[in-house]
Amino acid sequence: MIPYGRQDISQSDIDAVIEILKSDFLTQGPTVEKFENSVATYCGARHGIATNSATSALHIACLALGLGPKDILWTSPTTFVASANCALYCGASIDFVDIDLQSHNMCVKKLEHKLIEAEKTGNLPKIVMPVHLTGQPSDMAAIKVLADRYNFKIIEDASHAIGAKYCSDNTTVMQSNSDSASNENFLPIGNCQYSDICVFSFHPVKIITTGEGGLATTNDNTLAERMQRFRSHGVTSNPSDMFERPNDEIWNYQQTLLGYNYRMTDIQAALGISQLGRLSKFVQRRHLIADVYNEGLKDLPIALPWQSNQSYSSYHLYVIKINELDSPKTQREVYDILQSNNINVNLHYIPVYRQPYYEKLGFKQGYCSNAERYHKSALSIPMFPKLEKIQQTKVIEILHEIFS
Ligand SMILES: *Cc1c(COP(=O)(O)O)cnc(C)c1O
């Protein structure tokens, strides 16, 4: 079976993990801090807070921003369920802003219209969570303008997007995809120029992996401190954060919030540091694979991924769309034929609100028409650094057979 995505583990990754197994720290220790600093430095952010998954990082990001039962979080319907679940964990309400059919990210025009309507009824969101789908950055500058006007906070779900970059000055245009890695007008996703918090995932199918793991970046000292505390039981051992207690009692730690155990281990962090060293190689390799697909599939009646010339995708996924052009085969047929040829294509994503759990909350089919149209056309074909030439050729050949 050729998977749609998988990890790339080197001998140096293995050595880095073994090193930790022989050291004094297994759970969160000095290596987690080193990993946090490495990711924050790479992104140009002040703080990094590592967790045991992106799902936990999204949860503590919402908590740190004070999301609670009377609040509303808006995200994209075309995302993994975790982007929406984190709001429900906090007792908040969830709503969805439809995508645009070019980037497949949250549509900024639709966001603006929805904000105008929500202001009239007093239902403005506390947090808006754009998702950089497939690693293609959302238009964060435009979303930030709306955040300032309508007074909401921004968490980026960048689970797909470590290594992605966006143009910082809106004037520079990328000549070719390989240029941007070195172009200084392109800044890494995660620097939080336009957001309060940005969250990455290190699940094995993502760009770099720690087995399971996530990390939140922020430039805000208070948010960083709050996320650190929520990550570890709501407990602090910093005397300046503690409440006054009698001097003859030992109070070397205090619980001040209801937190969780969302800690990353040093074992995972060692793998993360080692993987981070190959991040730009991984992303370059993904671009080369995309170039081969772009060339090999260009004559077929399918739509190929769009790439903004103002950003550099991390190419987490390569999504083809079947029903957009006059296709002789349905999405379902293409999916079944690829599967029966041992190519494990996937669909990213079913609109979250169409999940049975969300339908029970009252969401109805038809709510976000673009997300539903995308759901009926998109397929993710194999895309990962270790994809071999003959595997990719097989994928291209079978797609040609399907449409011949
Ligand atoms: C993978 C993913 C998550 C969850 O990441 P975990 O690390 O598995 O918890 C959240 N959002 C999106 C968009 C993802 O792709």
Give residue 389's pLDDT band: very low, low, confident or very high (50, 70, 90).
very high
Query: Distance from the CA of 203 to the center of ligand 1, in angstroms?
Result: 7
Query: Distance from the CA of 202 to the center of ligand 1, in angstroms?
Result: 8
The residue behind tokens 């650190």 is: 228
pLDDT of residue 185: 83
What number is the average pLDDT over the span 324-329? 80
pLDDT of residue 275: 98
The residue behind tokens 């170039």 is: 291
The answer to whether residue 54 scores a pLDDT higher than 90 is: yes
* pLDDT tens track for 344-367: 999 999 999 999 999 999 999 999
* pLDDT tens track for 375-388: 999 999 999 999 99
What number is the average pLDDT over the span 134-148? 97
CB 178 within 8 A of CB 284: yes
168 or 71, which is more confident? 71
* Residue located nearest, by CA, to atom 2 of ligand 1: 159
Domain 11-278 fold is Aspartate Aminotransferase; domain 2 (3.40.640)
Q: Is 371 in the pocket of ligand 1 (CB under 6 A)?
A: no
Domain borders along the chain are: 11-278, 280-403
Domain 280-403: top CATH class: alpha beta
Query: Distance from the CA of 169 to the center of ligand 1, in angstroms?
Result: 29
Q: Is 214 in the pocket of ligand 1 (CB under 6 A)?
A: yes
* pLDDT tens track for 315-324: 999 999 998 7
What number is the average pLDDT over the span 48-77? 98
User: b/e string for 346-356 if b means 16 or more Cβ within 10 A?
Assistant: bbbbbbbbbee
Q: Output the CA angle 306-310-315, nearest 5 degrees.
A: 45
Q: Is 105 in the pocket of ligand 1 (CB under 6 A)?
A: no
Give residue 46's pLDDT band: very low, low, confident or very high (50, 70, 90).
very high
Q: Which of 114-128, 189-203, 237-251 has the lowest mean pLDDT?
A: 237-251
Cis amide leading into 349 (omega within 30): yes
Percent pLDDT > 90 in the chain is 92
Which pairing describes strands 72-75 and 127-129: parallel, antiparallel, or unpaired?
parallel
pLDDT of residue 177: 58
Output the CA–CA distances (angstroms, integers) from residue 178 to 174, 284, 317, 372, in the order listed. Answer: 9, 7, 17, 33
Query: Distance from the CA of 82 to the center of ligand 1, in angstroms?
Result: 6
The answer to whether residue 180 scores a pLDDT higher than 60 is: no
Helix (H) or strand (E) holding 93: strand 93-96
Output the CA–CA distances (angstroms, integers) from residue 157 to 260, 317, 371, 400, in the order listed. Answer: 20, 15, 17, 35
Can you tell me the distance from the alpha carbon of 222 to that of 239, in angstroms, rounded to the nearest whole number? 16
Give residue 326's pLDDT band: very low, low, confident or very high (50, 70, 90).
confident
pLDDT of residue 179: 54
Q: Is 54 in the pocket of ligand 1 (CB under 6 A)?
A: yes
Q: Is 53 in the pocket of ligand 1 (CB under 6 A)?
A: yes
The answer to whether residue 168 scores a pLDDT higher than 90 is: no
pLDDT of residue 323: 80
* Residue located nearest, by CA, to atom 6 of ligand 1: 54
What single-letter amino acid sits at 14? I
The answer to whether residue 49 scores a pLDDT higher than 60 is: yes
Can you tell me the distance from the alpha carbon of 74 to that of 317, in angstroms, rounded to the nearest whole number? 23
Burial class (CB in 10 A: 0-12, 13-18, 19+), 172: middle
Extract the tokens encoding 345.
């294509």
The residue behind tokens 């975790």 is: 82
What number is the average pLDDT over the span 136-153? 97
Phi, psi angle pair for 221, to nearest 5°: -60, -40
Percent pLDDT > 70 in the chain is 96
Ligand 1 mutation target, pool 58, 80, 105, most atoms within 8 A of CB: 80
CB 69 within 8 A of CB 94: no
Give residue 327's pLDDT band: very low, low, confident or very high (50, 70, 90).
confident
What number is the average pLDDT over the span 27-34? 96
Q: Which long-range contacts (CB under 8 A, 24 or more apart) does 21-29 make?
A: 21/267, 23/266, 25/266, 26/265, 26/266, 26/267, 27/263, 27/265, 27/266, 28/232, 28/263, 28/264, 28/265, 28/266, 29/266
Q: Is 63 in the pocket of ligand 1 (CB under 6 A)?
A: no
pLDDT of residue 184: 76
Helix (H/G/I), strand (E/B), else coil: 186: strand
pLDDT of residue 176: 59
Q: Is 78 in the pocket of ligand 1 (CB under 6 A)?
A: no
The answer to whether residue 305 scores a pLDDT higher than 70 is: yes
280-403 has the same fold as 11-278: no
What number is the average pLDDT over the span 35-55? 98
The answer to whether residue 181 scores a pLDDT higher than 90 is: no
Can you tell me the distance from the alpha carbon of 171 to that of 312, in angstroms, rounded to the nearest whole number? 15
Ligand 1 mutation target, pool 132, 201, 271, most atoms within 8 A of CB: 201
pLDDT of residue 169: 74
The answer to whether residue 342 scores a pLDDT higher than 90 is: yes
Q: How many CB atoms lie within 10 A of CB 390?
A: 7
* pLDDT tens track for 260-294: 999 999 999 999 999 999 999 999 999 999 999 99
What's the chain's Rg over C-alpha atoms? 22
Instruction: Say what angle helices 11-21 and 266-276 make with each other, to 10 degrees.
Output: 150
Q: Is 131 in the pocket of ligand 1 (CB under 6 A)?
A: yes
Phi, psi angle pair for 200, to nearest 5°: -110, 155
Query: Distance from the CA of 289 to the center of ligand 1, in angstroms?
Result: 23
